[in-house]
Structure 1
Amino acid sequence: MAAAAWWETLVVAAAADGTGGSSTTVVSICMFTTVLCLCLVAGHLLEENKWVNESITALVIGCIIGVIVFLLTKGKHSHILRFDEQLFFIYVLPPIIFNAGFQVKKKQFFHNFMTIMSFGVFGVFISGAIVSAGCYWLFPKVGFGELGAVDYLALGAIFSSTDTVCTLQVINQDETPRLYSLVFGEGVVNDATAVVLFNAIKDLDISRLKGGVVLKVIFDFLYLFATSTVLGISIGLVTAYVLKALYFGRHSTDREVALMALMAYLSYMLAELLELSGILTVFFCGIVMSHYAWHNVTESSRITTKHIFATLSFIAETFIFLYVGMDALDIDKWRTSKESFKTSIGIFGILILLILLGRVAFVFPISILSNIMSGSSERTPITFKHQNVNEMTPSKIFTHAKVVIWWAGLMRGAVSIALAYNQFTFSGVTSDPVHATIITSTIIVVFFTTLVFGFLTRPLISGMLPHQSRALSRGHSTGSNSPKDDFTLPFLSGDEGASGSGIVLEQAKRSLSMMLERPVHTVHIYWRKFDDRFMRPIFGGPRSH
């Protein structure tokens, strides 16, 4: 009984609004850290479970803790910490995105760059347009239509942001490298695009814009995308040069690790200070650091950075799902919403339908277009890497791959919730019943897609992946989709002694034809030559062979 009373006292103190002083904050953080450790242990014990993954585990545990807090405080509170979009964007999201760029297999990512960008950029615009138009048309039909034009546009960006964590935990990167690269790449680019698009929409003044609204949004998006990318690459190169020129490792490996971590975070915060996209900046900063800076540090620092960035990302991801789960039962938001149960179900159904249609509208057309645009000599249809094409019909292969890519983007996560809070609340609180309804609907959508679709992800992909993929993978290199080393460079002769205008002209024609047929391979190999000759001598990194 004494232990139960002590636990109740702690929970009640932790559930306070945080205005009681530093002791309340300490209790809240202590309890949240304890629950976070519980999530890690539970995730480990359920590692082999067919239906559950760590994100689902954290979400469910968060809900359970929310219920306990709600009962122990007699309905006064249902959360230990209140969800704050500023906390999410400034402290939690950067390590996740940076690690994604730092750990990405660059050869696969850039080999599929155009397809990934098509999914991640054009997909957000297509899905966002469908969600916005669908909400504008269907919400009034269920008795809910008191939103402004900017709110409807914001909903398109909010529900176009995907969460591919569940799918990536199931797909094996070594067995299906191209599929993993497409799903992973789309997930990162999708989140960045959705946030950039959301910020561009927030800056719109509909009352002053009579025409060209779409063009302005596109222009703002392209500006933010380009400048954020350049900033991330620049900071990554500066870090690499400093590490190479000053050789910190001769005195302290701690300084090497600290400099990389601080420069990565500086890139994100500098982008936010300049009102750019911190997600894009820190992602490309991570790619550049792994390509150059990582090779300029000592061996012990390489091992340390690899694991510490992955660990921080893992803790942050678990923290987010636990955070969302605990905040979902915040009774204040549900009390503020005045909509009937029938209207709430209608809103939820509309959002789920539009999410499904939005994915269909671009995944399948872009997949088909990507295969058509690939030249016959380099065509790598969007399919599984090690599938035995002699035993399966091409149509079945295409269908399986497209379904997996489509399914991977159905889950919605913390980015959607953070954007919804940013648009419809002030510091996580709203007194507007319409805005409260949007917040609660967003929470329901995130829970439904993460739990239901997440539960089905592992069985679905296990059934989709060919049973012989594991055996076939032993005989294939994970980089077999990369440009072949024996590919003749356009306009560059492999025979130094070749002479004569006829030979040179014939070779130029053949090289031009090859460049037009295999543009991705051509650009990649030219980049490798440029990288070896100019970039790596200055910024570091092993020379490619």
Structure 2
Amino acid sequence: MPDSSLISFVIIWLGSTLLFKNLDIGFLEIKDYLALGAIFSATDTVCTLQVLNQDETPLLYSLVFGEGVVNDATSVVLFNAIQRFDLSHITSTIATEFFVNFFYLFLTSTVLGIVVGLLSAYIIKKLYLGRHSTDREVALMILMAYLSYMVAELFDLSSILTVFFCGIVMSHYTWHNVTEKSRVTTKHAFATLSFVSEIFIFLYVGMDALDIEKWKFVSKSPGKSIGVSSILLVLVLVGRAASVFPLCFLSNFTRKSESDKIGLKQQVTVWWAGLMRGAVSVALAYNWFTMSGHTQQPGNAIMITSTITVVLFTNVVCGLLTKPLVRFLLPQHKQSSNRMSSELSSELSLVLPLLTNREDPIPDSMVGIVNAPHPPSLRMLLTRPTRSVHYYWRMFDDAFMRPVFGGRGFVQHVPGSPKQNSLHEWLLPEQQR
């Protein structure tokens, strides 16, 4: 996924460097073109995620969500690396130092998020007293996630990337170490915070688009502004295609099973989901092309208004076309009356491979659920695990990580706390109940 951001970054950087010369935009230097590559490498996949069904297409949903977050984080890391170096005269030494610094920021931010996530899981599982207190468990999870962000900012790392990997680790370990009330509370609390944050972000972008000061400069040369916006939009389309389809082809080339491969319709969906640009691009553009929070040069005003134009166009036009396009490429399966709920389906999809290997008979209450028809896209989750990286990771995780940091099935029941889901209780070995 960082590879797709790097490919888009290179294409937008080189394309803008070559094409902007025809528009007589002479105020831009090589560092500005590099910054444009980082600014427009950040994607906004929220619109597509609202349309996709996680139960219908789990692999596609994971690809779109993971790529969207990692692309934003990679763009911020690239942007920070560009700010740290004097790239007016690029040499082999400076280029090497630049890429070393980029990978250093990427790896350290990732490791920091993982460490804080594991620390939160260990504290709640081993050191934290009063695990049956919902208020304290929820507060601790929120504060530990915020701690990862603050530490990343303190050391000038990528806070987005740190929070992302901290959230992955906490959802895999920490979330299963708390009581059922705490799990329900954190699920709805974070969903609400996410929804409110998205509203404020789009309100900010919309209000910023109404700033008259920038548009006064642009009105003096409307043709140049339209040309810049059009070039950037075309480069976004080309860069996105050059990063998605070749990488999907290489991914499919390494997969033996046809059910694990990414089909052409899914590739088009991933490509379309990454066309939209959001608040990250606007924030980075303001960070680079403004002085003291204000636009003081006509050239900077053109670049900021062009960024806002691309963001609004991709969100309004591409956003409106997302739902019909996804429905056309990925038609919905007919819902049957005995289909399980989405939450139970997501939990069951994780444990059904274990059911096939158990010698114990399946309880009567579970027969209808196990034998219920499932979407074809879940086929890979219902088969026995293959000898893949995921298979060996699960073995390592079950043998070493989860006994120490907790997780599903590795946390003893605390007296006085709500009981776990009956499905989980049945799946646990007798000695762990």
The question of whether the paired residues in 2 share the 8 Å contact of 1:239 and 1:260 is answered with yes
Q: Deviations over 1:435-459 (max 9, x none)?
A: 1111111011101110011111111
Match of 2:395 in 1: 529
Q: Deviations over 1:367-422 (max 9, x none)?
A: 11111111x24761213xxxxxxxxxxxxxx2x22211111111110000001011
Match of 1:405 in 2: 270
Return the offset for 1:168.
Answer: 0.7
Alpha-carbon distance change, 530 to 171 in structure 1, aligned in 2, over 3 angstroms: same
2:262 aligned residue (382, 399, 419): 382
Residue 311 of structure 2 is aligned to residue 311 of structure 1:
no
Amino acid at match of 2:318: F
The question of whether the paired residues in 2 share the 8 Å contact of 1:363 and 1:405 is answered with yes
The question of whether the paired residues in 1 share the 8 Å contact of 2:131 and 2:178 is answered with no
Return the offset for 1:213.
Answer: 4.0
Return the offset for 1:537.
Answer: 2.2
1:433 aligned residue (281, 298, 317): 298
Residue 338 of structure 2 is aligned to residue 458 of structure 1:
no
Amino acid at match of 2:261: P
- Residue 249 of structure 1: SS of its match in structure 2? coil
1:149 aligned residue (9, 30, 42): 30
Alpha-carbon distance change, 149 to 482 in structure 1, aligned in 2, over 3 angstroms: farther
Aligned residue pairs total 381
- Find the aligned partners of 1:239 and 1:428 in 2 and give their Cα distance: 37
Return the offset for 1:522.
Answer: 3.0
The question of whether the paired residues in 2 share the 8 Å contact of 1:247 and 1:296 is answered with no
2:252 aligned residue (347, 371, 374): 371
Match of 1:197 in 2: 78
- Find the aligned partners of 1:203 and 1:338 in 2 and give their Cα distance: 34
Q: Deviations over 1:228-268 (max 9, x none)?
A: 11111111111111111234435732121111111111101
The question of whether the paired residues in 2 share the 8 Å contact of 1:355 and 1:410 is answered with yes
Alpha-carbon distance change, 350 to 339 in structure 1, aligned in 2, over 3 angstroms: farther
TM-score, structure 1 length as denominator?
Answer: 0.65
Match of 1:268 in 2: 149
Match of 1:61 in 2: none
- Find the aligned partners of 1:410 and 1:433 in 2 and give their Cα distance: 27
Residue 10 of structure 2 is aligned to residue 129 of structure 1:
yes
Alpha-carbon distance change, 537 to 459 in structure 1, aligned in 2, over 3 angstroms: same
Amino acid at match of 2:34: L
1:279 aligned residue (160, 171, 176): 160
Match of 1:47 in 2: none
Aligned pairs for 1:281-360 within 5 A: 281-337=162-218, 339-360=220-241
**Unpaired segments ≥5 residues, structure 1:** 1-119, 384-397, 489-517
Match of 1:498 in 2: none
**Unpaired segments ≥5 residues, structure 2:** 358-383, 411-426, 428-433
Alpha-carbon distance change, 283 to 440 in structure 1, aligned in 2, over 3 angstroms: same
- Find the aligned partners of 1:486 and 1:306 in 2 and give their Cα distance: 27
The question of whether the paired residues in 1 share the 8 Å contact of 2:30 and 2:88 is answered with no
Alpha-carbon distance change, 539 to 468 in structure 1, aligned in 2, over 3 angstroms: closer
Amino acid at match of 2:198: E
The question of whether the paired residues in 2 share the 8 Å contact of 1:339 and 1:437 is answered with no
- Find the aligned partners of 1:264 and 1:426 in 2 and give their Cα distance: 32
- Residue 322 of structure 2: SS of its match in structure 1? helix
- Find the aligned partners of 1:204 and 1:339 in 2 and give their Cα distance: 34
